[in-house]
Amino acid sequence: MRGLPARRIASTALCTALLVGLAGPAAVAADPARERAHAASRAPLPDADALLAQVKSLGDLGGVLTPATDLLNAVLKADNGQLPAADAAELGTAVKDAIAKVTGAAAATPATTLPALPALTRTGGAPADVIGDALAALQKAIDELIKAVTSGEAAQVTPAVTTTVTSLVNTVAATLLGGKLPAPSLPSPPSPPALPTGGISYEDS
C-alpha cells in the first residue's frame, strides 16, 4: 500500500512533464506572432517624419519667441527702458543661444520654395534662405537693443524695440513660409499687412 502514493506522485509528475512538453512548442510558435503584433503596434504613423518636422519648426519658433519677448517685457517695464548691464546680458544671451540653436537646425535643412503661398521679396538676394536671413536680422536687432537699454539714453530704446518686434514678426513669417508648414485653413484669411522696410515684406501674388 505504501507504493501507491509513490506511483501516483510519479504518474502526476509524468503527466505534468508531458503537458509542459506539448505546450512548449505551442508557446514558442506563439511568440513570433506576439512579436509581430507588438511590432505592428509600435509602427510610426504614416508621414510621421514630415509631421515631426513641422512640429519641430513650431517648437523652434517658440524657443526664439519666448526669450525675445522676455527681454522686450523687461525693457518696456524698466524705468526709461534701461536695464542693469548684468540683466541685459543675461536676457540677451538667452535670445542669442536660442537663435544659434535654430540657425544650426535651419542650416541643416535643405531650402525649399513655396510658390503657392504669398511671395517674399528680398532686395538683391534670392529667397533661398529666408529663415536664416530672418534669424540673422533678429540677432542684429537684439544686439542693437542691448546697446540701447544699457546706454543711458531713453531715446534710443523705442526705435530699437520697434526694430526687434519687426524682426520677430519677420522670423515668424519666414518660419511659416519656409518651414514646410501647411497653408492656413481660415475661411477668409486677411491679407498680411506691409512690414516696415529693411526686413522681409509681403506682396500680393
Quick: pLDDT tens for 6-24. 555 555 554 544 444 545 5
Tell me: do 35 and 56 sit in the same domain.
no
Average pLDDT (185-191) is: 70
DSSP string over 125-155:
S-GGGHHHHHHHHHHHHHHHHHHHHTSS-GG
pLDDT at position 50 is 77
Residue showing cell 524705468? 79
pLDDT of residue 127: 44
Q: How high is the pLDDT of residue 119?
A: 42
- Residue at 168 is within a domain: yes
The answer to the question of residue 2 being in a domain is no
**Same domain for 31 and 70?**
no
Query: Is 76 part of a structural domain of the chain?
Result: yes
81 and 26 together in one domain: no
Looking at the structure, tell me whether residues 16 and 105 fall in a common domain: no
Same domain, 25 and 95: no
Q: Give domain status of residue 135, yes or no.
A: yes
- Grid coordinates representing 143 are 544686439
Q: Residue 53 — very low, low, confident or very high, per pLDDT cuts 50/70/90?
A: confident
Domain co-membership, 79 together with 136: yes
- Which is it for the CA torsion 21, 24, 26, 28, positive or negative? negative
More confident position, 22 or 174:
174
Kindly state whether residue 104 falls inside one of the protein's structural domains. yes
Q: Which amino acid does the sequence have at 118?
A: P
Identify the band that residue 146 occupies on the pLDDT scale cut at 50, 70 and 90: very high
Bridge partner residues of 121 (DSSP): 201
Whether residue 31 lies inside any domain: the answer is yes
The per-residue pLDDT of the chain, averaged, comes to 73
pTM of the model: 0.62
**Is residue 63 a part of any domain in this protein?**
yes
* Sequence-separated (6 or more) residues with CB below 8 Å from residue 37: none
Number of domains in the chain: 2
Residue in 118, 117, 114, 115 with CA at minimum distance from that of residue 194: 118
pLDDT at 93 over 50: yes
Position 149 pLDDT exceeds 80: yes
Task: Please check whether residues 25 and 117 belong to one and the same domain.
Answer: no
Query: Domain span at residue 58?
Result: 48-203
User: Percentage of the chain with pLDDT > 70?
Assistant: 57
Pair 36, 56 in one domain:
no
Could you tell me the CA-to-CA distances from 144 to 6, 55, 105, 190, 198 in Å, in that order?
95, 31, 24, 32, 15
Q: 61 falls in which pLDDT band (50, 70, 90)? A: confident
Same domain, 23 and 81: no
Q: Over 60: is that where the pLDDT of 177 sits? A: yes
Q: Report yes or no on 5 lying in a domain.
A: no
